[in-house]
């Protein structure tokens, strides 16, 4: 990351010249917190809609499709379903222009891998998928 000096005597003397990339964001912990909040929203939606109801959000129907097409009882099937769900959730939160860019696609893939390997987020997504199946 490059920095430039500021002319203000009240600043720390350096400020970012370019935005953080996905690795730097992961290290800062901001991604995990934001994604955890998104998962909480999905869980809330499931509880409010009720598991038996036919109505629901686009997120719910997409996650239901992922859950019904996955073999959640096998480790490989569960990991793939979690990755696919994470990818969908990350993409759904990106604006359309960035989502379709090469940088957006790369970030989505990296975050999906990261989320699938994180024990807490993995368990949380897998729990949602099992409830939807």
Range of the domain at 53: 21-132
Q: Is residue 26 part of a domain?
A: yes
The tens digit of pLDDT for each residue in 46-85 reads 665 554 444 457 888 898 999 999 999 999 999 999 999 9
Render pLDDT for 86-109 as a digit per residue (tens, 0 to 9): 999 888 888 888 888 999 899 999
- Which is nearest to 128 in space by CA: 57, 44, 48? 44
57 inside domain: yes
Is 70 within a domain?
A: yes
89 in a domain, yes or no?
yes
Total domain count, the chain: 1
Rounded to two decimals, the pTM is 0.63
Q: Does residue 13 form part of some domain?
A: no
Q: Is residue 63 part of a domain?
A: yes
Question: Read out DSSP for 96-114?
Answer: HHHHTSHHHHHHHHHHHHH
């Amino acid at each position: 990351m490059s920095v430039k000096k500021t002319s203000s005597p009240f600043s720390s003397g350096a400020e970012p010249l370019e935005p953080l990339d996905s690795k730097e964001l992961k290290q800062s912990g901001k991604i995990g917190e934001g994604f955890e909040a998104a998962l909480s929203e999905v869980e809330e939606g499931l509880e409010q809609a009720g598991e038996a109801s036919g109505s629901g959000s686009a997120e719910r129907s997409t996650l239901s499709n992922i859950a019904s097409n996955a073999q959640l009882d096998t480790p490989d099937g569960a990991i793939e379903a979690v990755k696919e769900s994470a990818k969908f959730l990350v993409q759904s939160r990106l604006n359309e222009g960035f989502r379709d860019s090469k940088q957006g696609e790369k970030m989505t893939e990296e975050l999906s891998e990261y989320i699938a390997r994180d024990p807490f987020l993995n368990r949380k997504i897998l729990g949602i998928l099992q409830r939807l199946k």
